[in-house]
Amino acid sequence: MGLFGFFECENRQETAHALLAAAEDWLRGRGRDRMVGPMDFTTNDECGLLIDGYDRPPMILSAWHHPYYRELLENEGLVKAMDLLMWSLHISGRERVHPTIWATAEKSESEHGIVCRPMRKSQMDAEVNRFLEVYNAAWERNWAAVPLTDAEVRHYAKELKPVLDENWAFIAERKDTGEVVGAALTLPDYNQVLRHLNGRLLPFGWIKALYWRRKIDAVRVFALGVKPSYQHTGVAARFYQLHFEAAEHTRQKGGEMGWILETNRPMNRAMQGMGGEVVRRYRVYEKTL
């Protein structure tokens, strides 16, 4: 499998053909027999082409594409490989959540000895290591998954630290050994701030940023995972519960979760059980070379 990404193109088939043909030739020259994308650079980054949800403004770490991109790609022989789903959740009405989720959440500590706590920005390096341990274990069997390297995680940590909110980021650990078993990273939607800056932080953009930061009313669930050997312990349900608790004392009362593979039935069932709705769909394409 070889990847292509960062697809940007005018509404002109000849231009799209030239871009994709160059990518195909580059991949063939390196012994690849299938081209997959768009992925910028892997599934750990922004990936997939938006095919549903054009009317919604883009959230942090989620792409928006022109509707005509789909036709350009499909006219070049690219076909669906996988769809990625973004779920909208309003996390201020507990009554809409299936009662089983709350019952399962309560058992994570009482029956399995696992506690969940906020991530600590003051210990960012250590927290990043804990997140990396969970991330690579929880997602290693996902379709097209590529393990995060230590260098990549350090890079992401540097980028995300300014927008990390301890109200929305959690670590799950065993009480007896301290082993990290799960992590959930949700980010305030700073796109609501950036859209007011017109790309300029200076000379006075930072004043606007401080003002609009207080107005952010949505979040994006960037990653929520549990090590496979602990996925029966209710940790994910406890993370969901903590999100509802965070919504009770912050301005953010909802947002979007994902992306989630369309084939990930447990997570998609959980989103349904919490009253969620699929509001965006991204498609990853493939083509035999």
pLDDT tens across 95-128, in order? 777 888 889 999 999 999 999 999 998 888 888 8
User: In this structure, what token pair is assigned to residue 112?
Assistant: 């399995």
Query: Whole-prediction pTM value?
Result: 0.89
Residue that is last in its domain, among 47, 62, 84:
84
Give buried/exposed letters for 220-242 (b at 16+ CB in 10 A, else e): bbbbbbbbeebeebbbbbbbbbb
**Residue 72, pLDDT score:** 98
Give dist(CA 24, CA 34) in Å, integer: 9
Let me know whether 24 and 131 are in one domain: no
**Domains in the chain, number:** 2
Whether 182 is in a domain gets the answer: yes
Residue that is last in its domain, among 63, 84, 105:
84
Which residues make Cβ contacts (< 8 Å) with residue 73, sequence separation at least 6? 7, 16, 20, 49, 285
**Residue 116, pLDDT score:** 96
Let me know whether 113 and 240 are in one domain: yes
Let me know whether 54 and 130 are in one domain: no
Terminal-residue alpha carbon distance, the chain: 10
| Cα-based angle 183, 225, 1 (whole degrees, multiple of 5) | 130
Whether 278 is in a domain gets the answer: no
Is residue 254 a contact partner of residue 187, using CB atoms and an 8 Å limit?
no
> 239: domain CATH number?
3.40.630.30
Is residue 62 a contact partner of residue 280, using CB atoms and an 8 Å limit?
yes
Whether 183 is in a domain gets the answer: yes
Let me know whether 65 and 184 are in one domain: no
pLDDT tens across 202-260, in order? 777 878 888 888 899 999 998 889 999 999 999 999 999 999 899 988 999 889 998 99
**Residue 92, pLDDT score:** 66
**Residue 93, pLDDT score:** 66
Residue that is last in its domain, among 84, 119, 140:
84
Whether 265 is in a domain gets the answer: no
Let me know whether 237 and 99 are in one domain: yes
pLDDT tens across 5-17, in order? 999 999 999 999 9
CA-based nearest residue to 131, from 202, 179, 180: 180
- Look up tokens 């076909």; give the residue: 79
DSSP 94-155: GGGS-HHHHHHHHHHHHTT-EEEEE--GGGHHHHHHHHHHHHHHHHTTSTT--PPPHHHHHH
Let me know whether 45 and 65 are in one domain: yes
CA-based nearest residue to 219, from 45, 86, 33, 97: 86
Give dist(CA 215, CA 190) in Å, integer: 10
Whether 156 is in a domain gets the answer: yes
Let me know whether 58 and 109 are in one domain: no
Let me know whether 104 and 190 are in one domain: yes
Whether 135 is in a domain gets the answer: yes
Give dist(CA 256, CA 123) in Å, integer: 27
Let me know whether 18 and 79 are in one domain: yes
Q: Given CA atoms 277, 236, 285, 20 in this order, what sign does their dihedral have?
A: positive
The DSSP symbol for 164 reads -
Give dist(CA 204, CA 211) in Å, integer: 11
Whether 187 is in a domain gets the answer: yes
Question: Domain of 16?
Answer: 2-84
Q: How many of the other CB atoms lie within 10 Å of CB of 37?
A: 25
Let me know whether 64 and 173 are in one domain: no
Whether 72 is in a domain gets the answer: yes
Let me know whether 41 and 122 are in one domain: no
Which residues make Cβ contacts (< 8 Å) with residue 276, sequence separation at least 6? 87, 88, 89, 257
Let me know whether 150 and 212 are in one domain: yes
Q: Given CA atoms 59, 60, 63, 66 in this order, what sign does their dihedral have?
A: positive
